[in-house]
Amino acid sequence: SEVFLASTGVIGEPLDTTKFSHLLAGLVKDGKPDLWTEAAKAIMTTDTYPKVATATVKLGDADVTINGIAKGAGMIAPDMATMLSFIATDAPISASVLQDLLSRGTAKTFNAVTVDSDTSTSDTLLIFATGKAAARGAPAISEAKDARLGAFRRALGKVLKSLALQVVRDGEGARKQVEVTVTGAKSARSAKRIALSIANSPLVKTAVAGEDANWGRVVMAVGKAGEPADRDRLSIWFGDNRLAHEGERDPAYSEEATSAYMKRDDIRIRADIGIGRGKATVWTCDLTKEYVAINGDYRS
């Protein structure tokens, strides 16, 4: 058997193992299958609530379960963050297949969220398979291309996305969740870089916090991404409200309707670059005074 160590905390300060080493002896023997929420609570730091997700799906003719927990609220950005996440399934799937599923699944989930653009030395995402569903007739899977994996792959993706969005929702000091979609970019990679530039912009994030539909800040963030773009082809939406079209303020733009939209807890920003077919979506949150307070007092 192996024990995997995962921790977050102040970078550079050694982990004091005496705080938990005396608790390890009976963990496996005394473990219970219904303590997922308690485990999620145990790994919280600046989180305000435990993050859990679950799914049940068919593998062959048998039902298998996927459970996941996560923690993280600050220093969150792709590859990866001050984040811990643990996924477990009773499906009989080999380690190499699990690695393939997890690597592919993170691209549009954990690697598409950002709270503050900062990453960490201490991020961990692990997936485990007990194989116990084999006793109920679930087939053993040893190839990533096995056609029977389709439903499991989709269910795992939903669990990963749920946990990733819970991390964003609980971003330090955050009040609003923001979905940023970029379309019409030169490539999907270019679209994601532009989307992250928008999502990581302090000026965009503070505008969302202030419920101000300042689309000029989105234009700025598109420009600073360093990706191909054409000002005269750029269009921007907040929700269903188009604020800019072909590089200019939309003549039909309604300040009243957009201001009402910005009061929502979930905000969607879309930028169409107008030069290609590349698209990408990332998620972030607003930037508030509370974020400064939490991180300014972190060690004190």
User: Which amino acids are annotated catalytic?
Assistant: 82
- The sign of the dihedral angle between the CA atoms of 245, 248, 249, 250 is negative
Residue 58 half-sphere exposure, CB side, CA atoms within 13 Å?
4
216: left (phi over 0), alpha (psi -120 to 50) or beta: alpha
149: left (phi over 0), alpha (psi -120 to 50) or beta: alpha
The label of the residue with tokens 């963050």 reads 81
- CB of 270 within 8 A of CB of 191? no
Strands (E), 48-170: 51-59, 62-71, 84-89, 124-129
- CB of 278 within 8 A of CB of 234? no
**Closest C-alpha among 150, 157, 149 to residue 127:** 157
229's CB contacts (< 8 A; 6+ apart) are 185, 194, 222, 223, 273, 275
**Closest C-alpha among 270, 267, 258 to residue 287:** 267
Residue 81 CA to residue 121 CA, distance in Å, equals 8
Q: What's the Rg (C-alpha) of the chain?
A: 21
Burial of 41 (0-12, 13-18, 19+ CB in 10 A): middle
